Amino acid sequence: MTSTLNQITLQHYLAVGGIMFVIGMIGFMTRRNLILMFLCTELMFQGVVINLVAFGAYHGNFAGQAFTIFVLVIAAAEASLALGLIVLLFRHKATLDADAWRELKG
Amino acid sequence: MEYLKSIVPLLLPELLLVVAAGFLFLLGISTKVGARRAAPWISLLVLGGCCWLILGEPMKLSGFDAKGTFEVTSFSLYIKLLACGVGILLTLLAWPTNDDATGNPSLNFGGDAGEFFALMLLSLAGVLMVSGANDMILLFLGIELASIPTYIMVSVSRPTAVAQEAGLKYFFLGALAAALMLFGFSYLYGTTGTTSLHDIGQLLAGTQAGPAGATVPTAWQVLALIMLLLGFAFKLAAAPLHFYAGDVYQGAATPVTAFLSFVPKVTGIVAIIKIMWVYGGNGFAVPEIFAKLLFAIAVITMFAGNLLGLMQLNVKRVMAYSSVAHSGYLLVGLTALAYAGGNGSVQNAALQGVLFYIAAYGIMNVGVFAVLQMIPAREGRSTTTAETYEDLAGQGRKHIGLGLAMAVGCFSLIGLPLTVGFFGKLYLIVPAWNLASVEPELKGKMAWLIGLTMLNAAISAGYYLKIVGTMFLRPEPPLFGDSVSSLPVPARSLAPTVAVVLATVLTLGLGTLIPATQLLTTRVTDSLEIGRQPPLVAPDTASVAESR
C-alpha cells in the first residue's frame, strides 16, 4: 500500500492540477452558459489549490496550505458575487445564455 | 499580542478604511435620506484622515512587521497617499446630489449610498495593502480586495441592464485573470518553497550571472512570470487582456468608470513593480525575457489603445481605450526600468517616472471624467450624462468653464507642454534616452521604444483633439422632436465642480511650476527600498506563543 502511494510524486499532483486548470480554461472559452462558465473558473481555482497543497507537502512547510485557505475564501466570495450578478441579469431576461447579452459592442 | 502590537501601527490607514467601510455598510441599512447624505461625508473624512496619517507621521509609520509580511517604505507611502488623494477626487465625483440623495445625474445607486461608498473605501484599502505587501499571499489578497468591490460597484452604479451586463463581464474576466495570476503564484511558491517576496528575491539573487548580473530563472519560473503578467495585465487593461475595457467602461456610470480607470491600474502597476523587484533578485536586475515581455506588451498595448480609440463614437469608450493606451505608456517606463539592469541612476529615474505618471494620469483623468459627468446627454438617449460626441457638440462654447477644463484635461492626456501630462511623458522617456547613451548595445531597442511612444502620443492626439474640437467647434446637431429647448444645461452641483477645479488646477499647477513637480518626484527618490530587509532579530516565537 505504502509503496504504491510512494510512487505518486509531486509531478503527478502537478499534472492533475495543470489538467484541471486547462480544462477550466477551455471550458470558460467554449461554454456559453453563465453558470457553467463560472464553474469553469472554479475548476481553475481548484487546479491551483492542488498545485499549492502539493508544493506545500513537497517543501514540508505550511505556506502552501495557508495560501490554499485564502484562495478558498476568495473563491467563496466570488461564488456568492457571481450568483448575485447572474440573478440580477436573469431578472432582465430569463436566460443564462451569455450570448443573449450583447448590448455593449464596439 | 506582541505581533499585533507590531503590525497595528503599520496598518493604521488600512484599518481606518476597513473600519469606516464596515460602519458605512451598517449605515446603508438605514432608509433615511440623512444617512445617505452622511455616507460621502464620512468617506471624505476618512480618506482625509488617511492622508493626514500618511503625511503627518511617516517616520512613526515606517518599518516592517515582526514577520516581514507587511512593509511601510517611502514607495508604499507614496502609493498610499496617491490612492487616498485621488480617492478624495473620486468621492467628489460620486457625490449624491439628488434631492433624495440616491445619486447624481450620471450615477444612480438608489438607496445604496452607504454600501457604494463602503465598497469604494474597501477597494482603496486593497490598493494600500498591495503597496505594502511583502508576501505573495498578502499581495494576492490585496489585489482581490481592490478588485472584488469594483465588480459590485459597476453593477449597482445604474439600474440598467447595460451596467449589469458590464458588471458581469468584468467579473467573469476578473475571475479568469485571478485564476491565471494564482497559477503563477503557485509555481513561484513551488519553485522556491516560500511565499515571502523578500526571500524569493534572495533565492533568485543566488542565480545571478552574466555581465549585467541578471538572474537566471528556471523554465517553471518563467511560466509563472508569464501567468502573473497576464493576470496583472487584466488589472491594468493592458494587452492581451485589454478588450473588456470598452464594454465595461461604457456600461458603468461615469464616476465608476473614473474609478475603474485609476484604482485597478495602480494595483496592477504596483504588483508588476513588486514582481520585477523579486525576479531581479532583490533589485531590478531582471532576466532579459522579462524585459522583452514588457517591451512587447507595452508596444502592443499602446497601439491597441490608440488605434481602437480612434474608431470609437462613444466618448466613454474613447476614454476606455485612452486608459488602455496610458497603461502602455506606464509599461514603457517599466520596460526602461527592466532593461536598466544594474544601472542605479537610470533605474531610479525610470521608477520615479512611472510613479509620477500614475499620479499625473490619476489627476488629469479624473478631470476629464468630471467634465463628462457634468454635461447632460441630449434628449432621447438612454443615459442622462454625456456619452457620445453629439452630446458634447457645442457645449464648450455655451459653458466656457467646462470646455476649458476638458481642453486642459485632454491636452494633458496628449502630453502637451504646460500640463502635467508633458512632464509625465518626459519622465517616462528620459530614462530610456539616458540608458541608450550609457549602454550602446541597447541603443536600437531604446530608440524604437522612444520612437513608438512619441508616435502613439501623436496618434492619441487624433481622438483627444476630436473631443475638444467637438466641444468648441462643432455646431449643435438638431434636437429630436420639439425644438423648444436648446442645449441641455449642465448639472450645477458643488461636488463635481470642486473635483473639476481641483483636477484642472493640479494639472496646470504641476505642469507649469517646475519646483512642484520636482517636489513630487523627490518624494519618491528613495523609493527603491521595496523589498527591504526584514528586521534581523527573528520574531521570538516562544514569547508569541506565551502571550496567546
CA distances from residue B134 to A67, B202, B271, B300 in whole angstroms, order as listed: 14, 13, 11, 30
Same domain, B300 and B151: no
Asked if B166's CB is within 8 angstroms of A34's CB, the reply is no
Residues in chain A: 106
> What is the dihedral sign for C-alpha B100, B104, B106, B107?
negative
The boundaries of the domain holding residue B490 are: 284-477+485-526
Same domain, B21 and B124: yes
A-B C-beta contacts closer than 8 Å = 127
Q: Which residue has the higher pLDDT, B139 or B440?
A: B139
Contact between residue B222 and residue B288 where contact means Cβ atoms under 8 Å apart: no
Asked if B178's CB is within 8 angstroms of A78's CB, the reply is yes
pLDDT at B451 over 90: yes
- For B94-196, where are the alpha helices, taking DSSP H only? 113-132, 136-156, 161-192
pLDDT class for B64, splitting at 50, 70, 90?
low
Asked if A67's CB is within 8 angstroms of B161's CB, the reply is no
A21 CB neighbours in chain B (<8 A) are: 179, 183
B175 min Cα distance to partner chain A (Å): 7
pLDDT at B61 over 80: no
> Strand pairing of B63-64 and B71-72?
antiparallel
Same domain, B364 and B288: yes
Considering CB atoms only, which of A41, A45, A104 is closest to B165?
A: A104
Bridge partners, B60 (sequence order): none
Same domain, B261 and B394: no
Considering CB atoms only, which of B152, B189, B250 is closest to A63?
A: B189
Considering CB atoms only, which of A47, A63, A92 is closest to B194?
A: A63
Residue B74 within any structural domain of the chain: yes
pLDDT at B540 over 50: no
Euclidean distance between CA atoms B42 and B69, whole angstroms: 30
- For A1-106, where are the alpha helices, taking DSSP H only? 2-6, 10-30, 34-59, 63-92
Task: List b or e across A84-97, with b for residues whose CB sees 16 or more CB atoms inside 10 angstroms.
Answer: ebbebbeeeeeeee
Weakest mean pLDDT among A62-76, B67-81, B349-363: B67-81
Considering CB atoms only, which of B168, B178, B195 is closest to A89?
A: B168
Q: How far apart, in Å, do the first and last CA atoms of chain B sit? A: 7
pLDDT at A4 over 50: yes
A51 CB neighbours in chain B (<8 A) are: 183, 186-187, 190
What is the CB neighbour count within 10 angstroms for residue B144? 24
Asked if B183's CB is within 8 angstroms of A85's CB, the reply is no
B190 min Cα distance to partner chain A (Å): 5
Q: Which residue has the higher pLDDT, B315 or A94?
A: B315
Asked if A71's CB is within 8 angstroms of B164's CB, the reply is no
What is the CB neighbour count within 10 angstroms for residue B311? 11
Minimum CA–CA partner of B250 in chain A: A104
CA distances from residue B405 to B106, B384, B504 in whole angstroms, order as listed: 19, 20, 6
Euclidean distance between CA atoms B251 and B93, whole angstroms: 17
What cell numbers appear for B210 in the block? 552574466
Please give the helix or strand (H or E) that residue B64 lies within, else none: strand B63-64
Asked if A21's CB is within 8 angstroms of B179's CB, the reply is yes
Residue B47 within any structural domain of the chain: yes
Minimum CA–CA partner of B320 in chain A: A106
Structure letter (DSSP) for residue B535: P
Average pLDDT over residues B448-455: 95
Same domain, B157 and B306: no
The pLDDT, as a whole number, for residue B536 is 38
What is the CB neighbour count within 10 angstroms for residue A26? 12
pLDDT at A67 over 80: yes
The pLDDT, as a whole number, for residue B398 is 86
Q: Calculate ∠ Cα A62-A65-A67, nearest 5°.
A: 105
Considering CB atoms only, which of A54, A67, A81 is closest to B137?
A: A67
The gap from C-alpha B375 to its chain's centroid, in whole angstroms, comes to: 24
Each residue's pLDDT tens digit, A7-62: 888 999 999 999 999 999 999 999 989 999 999 999 999 999 999 999 999 999 99
Structure letter (DSSP) for residue A33: B
The pLDDT, as a whole number, for residue A99 is 81
The pLDDT, as a whole number, for residue B259 is 96
What cell numbers appear for A57 in the block? 507537502
Same domain, B139 and B167: yes
Share of chain B above pLDDT 70, in %: 87
Minimum CA–CA partner of A66 in chain B: B137
Euclidean distance between CA atoms B396 and B468, whole angstroms: 8
Residue B250 within any structural domain of the chain: yes
Average pLDDT over residues B31-37: 89
Euclidean distance between CA atoms B490 and B266, whole angstroms: 31
Asked if B190's CB is within 8 angstroms of A67's CB, the reply is no
Euclidean distance between CA atoms B330 and B269, whole angstroms: 8
Same domain, B252 and B315: no
Each residue's pLDDT tens digit, B168-189: 999 999 999 999 999 999 999 9
The pLDDT, as a whole number, for residue B543 is 38
Residue B233 within any structural domain of the chain: no
Radius of gyration of chain A (CA): 18
CA distances from residue B448 to A35, B428, B443, B456, B503 in whole angstroms, order as listed: 46, 14, 9, 12, 33
Angle formed by the axes of helices B244-251 and B315-339, nearest 10°: 130
Out of A95-99, B110-114, B520-524, the most confident range is: B110-114
CA distances from residue B266 to B143, B191, B520 in whole angstroms, order as listed: 10, 28, 17
Ordered DSSP codes for B394-444: THHHHSHHHHHHHHHHHHHHHT-TTSHHHHHHHHHHHHHHHHHHH-GGGHH
pLDDT at A64 over 60: yes
Asked if A52's CB is within 8 angstroms of B186's CB, the reply is yes
Euclidean distance between CA atoms B500 and B503, whole angstroms: 5
Minimum CA–CA partner of A49 in chain B: B186
Same domain, B262 and B288: no
**Number of domains making up chain B:** 2
pLDDT class for A95, splitting at 50, 70, 90?
confident
Each residue's pLDDT tens digit, B466-519: 999 999 998 877 665 544 455 666 667 888 899 999 999 999 988 888 766 666
Each residue's pLDDT tens digit, B262-316: 999 999 999 999 999 899 887 788 888 999 999 999 999 999 999 999 999 999 9
Residue B71 within any structural domain of the chain: yes
Asked if B186's CB is within 8 angstroms of A85's CB, the reply is no
A5 min Cα distance to partner chain B (Å): 21
Residue B392 within any structural domain of the chain: yes
Average pLDDT over residues B314-338: 95
Same domain, B250 and B303: no
Same domain, B254 and B299: no
- For residue B430, what are the contacts with CB-CB under 8 A and spacing of at least 6? B349, B353
Considering CB atoms only, which of B144, B186, B314 is closest to A48?
A: B186
Same domain, B249 and B386: no
Asked if B172's CB is within 8 angstroms of A70's CB, the reply is no
A96 min Cα distance to partner chain B (Å): 12
B197 CB neighbours in chain A (<8 A) are: none
A34 min Cα distance to partner chain B (Å): 9
Considering CB atoms only, which of A44, A59, A81 is closest to B179?
A: A44
Residue B535 within any structural domain of the chain: no
Structure letter (DSSP) for residue B394: T
Considering CB atoms only, which of B152, B178, B195 is closest to A63?
A: B195
Minimum CA–CA partner of A48 in chain B: B183
Residue B209 within any structural domain of the chain: no
What cell numbers appear for B314 in the block? 462613444
Contact between residue B349 and residue B431 where contact means Cβ atoms under 8 Å apart: yes
A85 CB neighbours in chain B (<8 A) are: 151, 155, 164, 167-168, 171
A70 CB neighbours in chain B (<8 A) are: 137, 140-141
Task: Give the best residue of A31, A67, A72, A95 to mutate against chain B (max B CB count within 10 A).
Answer: A67
Contact between residue B29 and residue B39 where contact means Cβ atoms under 8 Å apart: no
Contact between residue B42 and residue B120 where contact means Cβ atoms under 8 Å apart: no
Q: Which residue has the higher pLDDT, B177 or B11?
A: B177
pLDDT at B140 over 50: yes
pLDDT at B377 over 90: no
What cell numbers appear for B85 in the block? 488623494
Euclidean distance between CA atoms B283 and B464, whole angstroms: 38
What cell numbers appear for A13 in the block? 499532483
Angle formed by the axes of helices B344-374 and B315-339, nearest 10°: 170
Euclidean distance between CA atoms B361 and B409, whole angstroms: 10
Considering CB atoms only, which of A24, A55, A66 is closest to B190?
A: A55
CA distances from residue B149 to B64, B118, B121, B172 in whole angstroms, order as listed: 28, 9, 9, 14
Minimum CA–CA partner of A36 in chain B: B172
Contact between residue B91 and residue B46 where contact means Cβ atoms under 8 Å apart: no
- For residue B229, what are the contacts with CB-CB under 8 A and spacing of at least 6? B184, B272, B275, B293, B294, B297
Euclidean distance between CA atoms B181 and B19, whole angstroms: 28
A1 min Cα distance to partner chain B (Å): 27
Q: Which residue has the higher pLDDT, B343 or B228?
A: B228
Average pLDDT over residues B373-400: 81
- Amino acid in the structure at residue B496: P
Asked if A64's CB is within 8 angstroms of B171's CB, the reply is no
Considering CB atoms only, which of B151, B166, B190 is closest to A81?
A: B151
Domains in chain A (CATH in brackets) are: 10-97 (1.10.287.3510)
pLDDT at B331 over 60: yes
The pLDDT, as a whole number, for residue B311 is 92
pLDDT class for A96, splitting at 50, 70, 90?
confident
Same domain, B117 and B23: yes
Three-state DSSP class for residue A8: coil
The pLDDT, as a whole number, for residue B205 is 86
Angle formed by the axes of helices A10-30 and B161-192, nearest 10°: 160
Three-state DSSP class for residue B382: coil
Share of chain B above pLDDT 90, in %: 58
What cell numbers appear for B229 in the block? 503578467
